[in-house]
Each structure stands twice: as C-alpha cells, then as structure tokens.
Amino acid sequence: MELIKTTLSLIFIIIMLGLSTQHKHLMMALMCIEAMMLTLFMMLIIYNTIMLTPSQTPMPIILLTISVCGASLGLSLVVATTRTHGNDFLKNLNLL
C-alpha cells in the first residue's frame, strides 16, 4: 500500500511540474489540472479505504463533482478563446 501512496504522490508532483512548464497552450494546462484532480481523487479513495471512516465517504464524490464542473468551465473558456482569438495560445491573450 505504501508503494501505491508513493507512486500517486510522485505522479501528483510530476503533473505539478508539467503544469508549471506549460506556458503555450491553455488546453494543455487544463489537462494537467484535470490529471491533478484525478490523482487527488484516487488518493482520497485510498485514504477512505484505509481509514474506514464513514464521515469521509462522500468526499471523493464531492471532489469529482467539483472537478467535472471545473473541466466544463475550462472547456467553455477554451471554446470562447478559440472563437475570439483563433487559437488557444496563452501568449496572444491580454490577461490584464
């Protein structure tokens, strides 16, 4: 079980590094964030399996629901950006 925890923690750190190096495309940054949320989901499921606490049982489902809402919001942002600017390059956006 410790190997699984260590592997998931390492995956989370690698995805964070990937997110910090994504400076070109908005879609790639959103995919990294979604992968981070799925890794956190797996970590919460493993934690709930080990601890067997009934009060923490709905937490992975709540996290997954928030992740889906964030993904739909991000996808709508990518579509709106692509329609107005023609691409999803972060360099072309005026974020001020």
The tally of domains found in the chain comes to 1
Q: Residue 37, Cα to own-chain centre: how many angstroms?
A: 4
Whether pLDDT at 79 is above 60: yes
Tell me the whole-structure pTM to 2 decimals: 0.78
Residue 96 lies in a domain: no
Residue 92 lies in a domain: no
Give yes or no for a contact between 19 and 33, defined as CB atoms under 8 angstroms apart.
Answer: yes
The residue segments making up the domain with residue 17 are 2-85
Helix (H, G, I), strand (E, B) or coil at 93: coil
- What long-range pairs does 59-65 form, CB within 8 A, spacing at least 24? 63/37, 64/37
| Mean pLDDT, the chain, whole residue set | 84
Residue 78 belongs to a domain with what CATH number?
A: 1.10.287.3510
Render pLDDT for 21-66 as a digit per residue (tens, 0 to 9).
Answer: 877 788 888 888 899 999 998 988 888 888 877 777 788 888 889 9
The DSSP letter of residue 91 is: T
Residue 91 lies in a domain: no
Q: Percentage of the chain with pLDDT > 90?
A: 17
CA distance 12 to 35: 8
Tell me how crowded residue 34 is: count the other CB atoms within 10 A of its CB: 17
